[in-house]
Amino acid sequence: MSKTAIITGGGSGLGQATAVRLAQEGVNIAVVDVSEKGGNETVELVKRAGADAVFIKADVSKAAEVKHYVDQTVEHFGSIDYFFNNAGISGSGAYYLDSSIEEIEKIVGINLLGALYGVRYVAEVMLKNGGGSIVNTASSAGVIGQDSVVTYSATKHGIVGLTKSMVAEYAKDGLRVNAIAPGPTETPMVKAFYEANPEMKENATAGIPQKRLGTAEEVAELVAFLLTSKAQYINGEVIRIDGGFTNVK
Domain CATH number, residue 47: 3.40.50.720
Domain count, the chain: 1
Q: Average per-residue pLDDT in the chain?
A: 95
Q: Are 151 and 41 in contact (CB under 8 A)?
A: no
Query: Does residue 198 have a pLDDT over 90?
Result: no
Selecting among 82, 117, 121, 152, the annotated active-site residue is 152
Contacts of 20 (CB under 8 A, 6+ apart): 42, 45, 46, 49, 220
Q: Is the pLDDT of residue 238 over 70?
A: yes
Query: Which of 93-102, 136-145, 193-202 is predicted least confidently?
Result: 193-202
Instruction: Assess whether pLDDT exceeds 80 at residue 197.
Output: no
Average pLDDT over residues 80-98: 97
Active site residue 152: yes
Confidence of residue 249 (pLDDT cuts 50, 70, 90): low
d(CA 57, CA 60): 9
Other C-beta atoms closer than 10 Å to the C-beta of 211 total 10
Domain around 37: 4-247
Cβ atoms 226, 135 nearer than 8 A: yes
| Residue 204 reports pLDDT greater than 90 | no
Confidence (pTM): 0.95
